[in-house]
Amino acid sequence: MQTRNKVFEDLSQLMTNAMGVAQGAKDEAETAMKSMIDRWLADRDFVTREEFDAVRAMAMKAREENETLKARLDALEADKK
């Protein structure tokens, strides 16, 4: 009976180790895939979401400033007439 428990313990330990190895391989594969995708995107000059949002915010601010300046210019031109 004691030997049978030892076999089950060894088998259990083997399965636990195999799961750990499988998890490590999965993590390594995910890291490699992410690196490959990041390199592919960088080679194609795609912008990151953060860069896109920053430029978008700048464009919105510039548009608001242009509208304010246009309104002031229109008011000045109306005063001259």
The pLDDT of residue 72 is 95
Instruction: Give the other-Cβ count within 10 Å of 38's Cβ.
Output: 10
pLDDT for res 44? 87
Flag residues of the chain having pLDDT under 70. Answer: 1-3
pLDDT at site 42: 80
Per-residue confidence (pLDDT) for residue 3, from 0 to 100:
67
- Cα–Cα distance between 19 and 7 in angstroms, integer? 18
pTM of the model: 0.47
Residue environment code for 55-64, b if the CB has 16+ CB neighbours within 10 A, otherwise e: eeeeeeeeee
